[in-house]
Structure 1
Amino acid sequence: MRLIDHHCHGAVTGPLDRAAFEALLTESDRPPPPGCSGFDSQLGFAVRRWCAPVLGLEAHCDPGDYLDRRAELGPDEVNRRLLRAAEVEVFLVDSGYRAGELLDGPAMAAAAAAEVREIVRLEAVAEALDGVSAAGFADAFDRVLDDAAAGAAGFKSVVAYRQGLDFDPHPPTRREVTRAAGRWLRRGRPRLDDPVLLRHLIWTAVDRGGPVQFHTGFGDPDLDLARGDPLLMTSFLRATRDRGAAVLLLHCYPFHRQAGYLAQAFPHVYLDVGLALNHVGARAPAVLAESLELAPFHKVLYSSDAFGPAELHHLGAVLFRQAFGEVAGQWSKGDAERVAELIGSGNARRVYRL
């Protein structure tokens, strides 16, 4: 099954001790209670089952043995083995979060022996503007976004984290943007969470024709999950359906059924269940099946949303292929192969013009 991972992050470049590795097996920002382990989860079990053999260990090996082997091989060899074992042809990488800790595009491409294209995180571009004034914010963002987007495959917003998906669906006026930029600059340029500026970033990407990815569904505790339901974007989707920009709903869980409805109802809406499949492990077939209940098959894409350990890039591919095989088991062989091509890579090639 050919795969394009349409949304992920880079693999971590340095060694990981047990605490650091386990911290990347959960969306929590706190360690487990004393005497407990992050390996005791669907994701932890999946790592020991599917990643251990790639590193030369028996499946289901002891977590300590797994981490010892990881340290023995070193991060470069671990990344090379796991990324290549995923057999992904193209990675679309959001490099706008903790970029200094992760493989950059060329290094990721070399480790994975695959093509890498960038997804531009809108908020990161705005926060990196240098020497900007309130009146010049809009023009400066336009210029810098054009430079950042050169050669990139699309854009991404994390408005779900910064405000919630219940944002005002309409583009702000130039005057509103100037006033909001002034407020933000007077606050000392903190994390950009001004609702007017967030809308401006999103509509700037829409006006460029997208595609625009949106984090939806679960994430770390910085997120208010109640405001991560993609149904909250319905008015925005109505406002953008004739603008020519595809909207990609990322992750979606536990709102993947809602996302499937939106993908059926709106011609420019697409979804994935990346991130979720890794975390639900053995339950991946059930979650994938639920995401396909309403969504047309030409509106669903594969992603891993892997961040940090290359185990997550590998597991995303393994669990997706296995889950799809179970879900498609009641279809004809020809239909299963055709839909596998669509969801695995064909839809991504079309939407991102790869």
Structure 2
Amino acid sequence: MSLQGIKVVDVHAHPFRESTTPESPVSFLRKLSLSVIPEMFSSLEGIEKHQPYPGSNMWIQILLRQMAAYYSCEEDLTAIVDKRNQKAKDYQAYTKELFQDVNLVGAIMDFGYPQPPINHAEFEGMTGARIWEISRIEPIMVSLAEMNISFDDFISRYRKRLQDDLSDNQVVGLKTIIAYRSGLEVLDMDRQAAEKDYETFVQDNRATAKAFRDYCFHIAMEACTEADKFMHIHTGIGDGEVVMTKASPSFLLDTLRKEKYKDTKVHLVHGGYPWMEEAAFIVSILPNVYMDISLQNPFTGHGVERVISQVLELAPFDKVMYGSDAFTVPEMNWMGVRLFIQCFERVLNDWVEKDYMSVEKAQFIGEMILYRNFEKIYNITV
């Protein structure tokens, strides 16, 4: 059974800017890392042959090895980056080449990162793939708070901005990164407490301001319900700012079970990694909640195989979608697909060998997660 050549839709990634300057080995490693600390990769001097680069992990090792094979060059960082820079002189052609190589035909992108936002049409033209957006609520909250308006005026304008964004055909939903600010233990709406915390948020838009953030979260959920579009919620780890003690998707369960949200379509971004079993349980009991396998793919490297297997221990096959969380260079998007397919094939073929299912059913399940579920869940044909 093989998934090679199957079309792929990535349901969570970020756009990236066209690079106008060649990468150095150090700068390229930095762009491959989830770390936001510049010192993570500072010097490659004194590296012995076959020694892993300081700060690198299995994700980077696998990517460099597969890039060397793709370029037909030595598995050496300098040689790989040199080949890469030659191809990337025409950045658009190189990006399209990588997307086409893995048949990556579409993606839902969070244009909330990087800032200032990248132009949608230009990015779509650079990749050659169809691109849809999710509108991140936090930049909207910040831009309105900077106007120093009253709480009532803020709420009125905030609701209107969400409604306007959701009316755009290119926008498939909203997204929140509340897990980075106050955590996923979202409490009931408390207008009085929210108004008090709003004053704190105006002074410091990175402040916890929990009651205010929770209030805005609920308004976003209501807006998605009314528009019949998806609420994307960052769950699990991310960069170093995430509130780790409140990042598990289990903290969302009480909110998602509320009667007012029984028809709200929710997408658990990153599938709650490393609490993916909890996300898998949630999507197995709540009919309108779905999850993707992004960030853990590709950034756990060889662990992607384990993650896929664990998620599918409990999650229904039709509730899981492919994702990458790629965010800086097209090689991330490319490697996300390659690594996922390689790992998924091993999982599916193991199930076939154990006589859990036929080859044909395993093939169909692979297609479901790579693109069929997206088309059905989002009602979009690619």
TM-score (norm 2): 0.83
1:266 Cα deviation (Å)? 1.6
- Is 1:147 the equivalent of 2:164? yes
The residue aligned with 1:135 is: 152
Letter in 2 for 1:12: R
Q: How do 1:22-101 and structure 2 match up within 5 A?
A: 22-30=29-37, 31-32=40-41, 35=44, 37=53, 40-54=56-70, 56-58=71-73, 61-73=75-87, 74=89, 75-100=91-116
Q: 1:49 to 1:240 in 2, by over 3 A?
A: farther
Per-residue deviation, residues 123-180 of structure 1 (Å, max 9, x unmatched): 1122122633322011111122222232201111101101111221x2343x544443
Q: 1:183 to 1:284 in 2, by over 3 A?
A: closer
Within-5 A mapping of 1:104-123: 104-123=119-138
Checking the alignment, whether the CA contact within 8 Å between 1:13 and 1:103 is kept in structure 2 is: no
Among 165, 180, 184, which residue is 1:161 paired with? 180
Q: Which amino acid in the other structure matches residue 29 of structure 1?
A: V
2:32–2:328 Cα contact (<8 Å) kept: no
- Equivalent residue number for residue 289 of structure 1: 309
Structure 1 runs not aligned, ≥5 long = none
Contact 1:171 1:203 in 2 (8 A): yes
Greater alpha carbon shift after TM alignment, 327-336 vs 126-135: 126-135
Match of 1:226 among 230, 242, 245: 245
CA distance in 1 between counterparts of 2:233 and 2:66 reads 29
The CA RMSD measured in Å over matched residues stands at 2.3
Give 1:99 shift: 3.4
Q: Structure 1's 242 and 159: CA in aligned 2 closer, same or farther, altered over 3 A?
A: closer
1:192–1:268 Cα change, 3 Å: farther
* 1:320 maps to 2:343: no
Deviations 1:66-116 (A, max 9, x none): 11122223344432322332312211000002234x753222222222110
Matches within 5 A, 1:243-322: 243-251=262-270, 252-322=272-342
Displacement of 1:241 in angstroms is 7.3
The answer on whether the counterparts of 2:26 and 2:43 sit within 8 Å (CA) in structure 1 is no
1:336 to 362, 370, 376: 362
Provide the rounded CA distance (Å) in 2 between the counterparts of 1:193 and 1:267. 31
Distance 1:162 1:249 in 2: 17
The structure 1 residue matched to 2:222, chosen from 174, 191, 207, is 207
| 2:376 is aligned with 1:350 | yes
User: Is the alpha carbon distance of 1:192 and 1:128 closer, same or farther for their aligned partners in structure 2, counting shifts above 3 Å?
Assistant: farther
Which 10-residue stretch deviates more, 113-122 or 265-274?
Answer: 265-274
1:10–1:108 CA contact under 8 A, matched in 2: yes
Aligned-partner Cα distance in 1 for 2:310–2:368: 18
| Partner Cα separation in structure 1 for residue 291 and residue 54 of structure 2 | 28
Equivalent of residue 217 in structure 1, options 217, 236, 239: 236
Counterparts of 1:40 and 1:183, CA distance in 2: 39
- What TM-score results when the alignment is normalised by the length of structure 1? 0.89
In the other structure, the counterpart of 2:213 is 198
Structure 2 distance, partners of 1:38, 1:255, is 28
**Deviation at 1:321?**
1.4
Q: What is the 5 A alignment of 1:154-193?
A: 154-168=173-187, 170-173=188-191, 175-185=192-202, 187=203, 189-191=204-206, 193=208
Structure 2: gaps spanning 5 or more residues: 1-5, 48-52
Q: Secondary structure at the match of 2:151?
A: coil
Corresponding residue of 1:235: 254
- Equivalent position of 2:50 in the other structure: none
Taking structure 1 as reference, are residues 351 and 156 closer, same or farther at Cα in structure 2, changes over 3 Å only? same
Partners of 1:2 and 1:272 lie apart in 2 by 17
SS in 1 for 2:232: strand
Provide the identity percentage: 23
Which deviates more from structure 2 when the two are superposed, residues 341-350 or residues 241-250?
Answer: 241-250
